[in-house]
Amino acid sequence: MSIAVQESLLDFGDEAAPGTLRPGRVPLSHGAWIDVQRGFLTGSAPLFARLAQTVPWRAERRRMYDRTVEVPRLLCFYGENDVLPDPALEACRAALNAYYADELGEPFVTAGLCFYRDGRDSVAWHGDRIGRGSTEDTMVAIVSLGEARPLLLRPSPGTAGKSERAGAGDKGGQALRYSLGHGDLIVMGGSCQRRWEHAVPKSARPTGPRISVQFRPRDVR
């Protein structure tokens, strides 16, 4: 698979490596929050190229209502006993586990990879609610490689009208938008998976490829 991706200044370097974690926290409504750090992983372009070539990507089909459709992205999942496909991802997970150990109270143990090949690939509005994410506060940490794509966040339907005090991230029902790529990090925590949704929309503009790496604790999908 031959993939071309435009590099940024933070992509340069022969080896990908996570930097010191200094994320900025944005409080959302209903007990949710996000941490964002630009360029957390430096030298991400070579890592993107390796993952694009070596990960055993698979296309999936899923039942939607009365028909079966193609999932609009390629996928690969690494369980808690699996070796990750590159040492740089192991280093990212180790850094995240060290930083969030006290707050999360458990390690990130799995990694889900999504390959967005162009603007036609996307993921619809959802929360990671399979397993404990549907009933417990948890965290999902996402490292984005390749071209920047917008990640949108909004309160889940039925949540925005509840009486709890809104946080800084609740813009009157408007979706928050973060353009993420080139080694950027976003961590969704607190009640974010239960009370908020996120999506990567399709784009009609020429859009380069992106790989999203999602680190999760046990029994969160």
Q: What is the pLDDT of residues 29-62, one digit of tens each?
A: 999 999 999 999 999 999 999 999 999 999 987 6
User: Which pTM value belongs to this model?
Assistant: 0.88
What is the pLDDT averaged over residues 70-76?
A: 94
Between 165 and 86, whose confidence is greater?
A: 86
Asked if the model's pLDDT at residue 2 lies above 50, the reply is no
DSSP state of 165: P
Structural domains for the chain:
9-216 (2.60.120.590)
Q: Is the pLDDT of residue 140 over 50?
A: yes
3-state secondary structure of 3: coil
**Cβ burial 198-217 (10 Å sphere, 16+ → b, else e):** bbbeeeeeebbbbbbbbbbb
Is residue 172 very low, low, confident or very high in pLDDT (cuts 50, 70, 90)? low
Which of 12, 90, 84, 87 has its CA nearest to residue 45? Answer: 12
Place of tokens 């200044």: 9
The burial class, CB within 10 Å (0-12 / 13-18 / 19+), for 18 is buried
Say how many C-beta atoms besides its own lie within 10 A of residue 106's C-beta: 13
pLDDT tens by residue, 96-120: 999 999 999 999 999 999 999 999 9
DSSP 50: H
Question: Six-digit token pair at 29?
Answer: 């409504």
Q: What's the pLDDT score for residue 195? A: 96
DSSP-H helix ranges across 116-207: 192-195
One-letter amino acid identity for 151? L
Q: What is the mean pLDDT of residues 193-209?
A: 95
Contact 112, 57 (CB under 8 A): no
